Amino acid sequence: MIRRGRKEGWLKLPTSALPAWSAMNNITYNGVKIGHLPGYEDRGSTVIAARYLNGGEEAPLIHVSRDMVLSLELVHDHAKSDQDFREVIAALGEFGRVGETSRGAILTFILMQAFTACPMPSKKRGVTHPFSEYIKFLPEELLPTFWSESERALLIGTTLRPALEAKMKSLYREFDLLRASTKQISWCRDLWWDEIEGLIDYDDWKQCDAMYRSRALEFPGIGDSMVAGIDMANHASGEMTGALYETDSNGDAILLLLDQKHIGPGDEVTITYGDKKGACEMLFSYGFIEDSMTSAREMFLDLEIPDDDPLKRAKNAIATTAPGFRLYEDHNATSWESDYVWLICVNEEDGLRFQIVQSIDGDQELQISWQGKEIDDIQLLRPQLLEDARWDIFQLRAVTVIQSRVESQLLSLSETDDKAISTTYGENTSIRPKAYSDALKLRSLERKLLEQAYENFEQQKSQLLQSDTVHQYLASAAREGPGDEGDEEDFS
Helix (H) or strand (E) holding 352: strand 352-358
Q: Where are the domains of the chain?
A: 2-263, 298-480
Task: Note the pLDDT of residue 217.
Answer: 87
Please report the DSSP string for 41-65 in residue order. GGG--EEEESS-EETTTPPPSEEE-
pTM equals 0.91
What's the one-letter identity of residue 327? L
pLDDT, tens digit (0-9, with 9 covering 90-100), for 279-326? 999 999 999 998 889 999 999 999 999 999 999 999 999 998 999 999
Cα–Cα distance for residue pair 115/109, rounded to 1 Å: 10
pLDDT for position 99: 54
**pLDDT tens-digit readout, 31-52:** 999 998 887 777 778 999 999 9
Round to whole Å and give the CA distance between 391 and 371: 14
For residue range 341-399, list pLDDT tens digits in order: 999 999 999 999 999 887 777 678 888 999 989 998 899 999 999 999 999 999 999 99
Whether the predicted pLDDT of 486 surpasses 50: no
Question: Nearest CA to 365 among 357, 353, 373?
Answer: 357
3-state helix, strand, coil split of the chain in percent (to 5) is 45, 15, 40
Mean of all residue pLDDT scores within the chain = 92
CATH number of 2-263: 3.90.1410.10
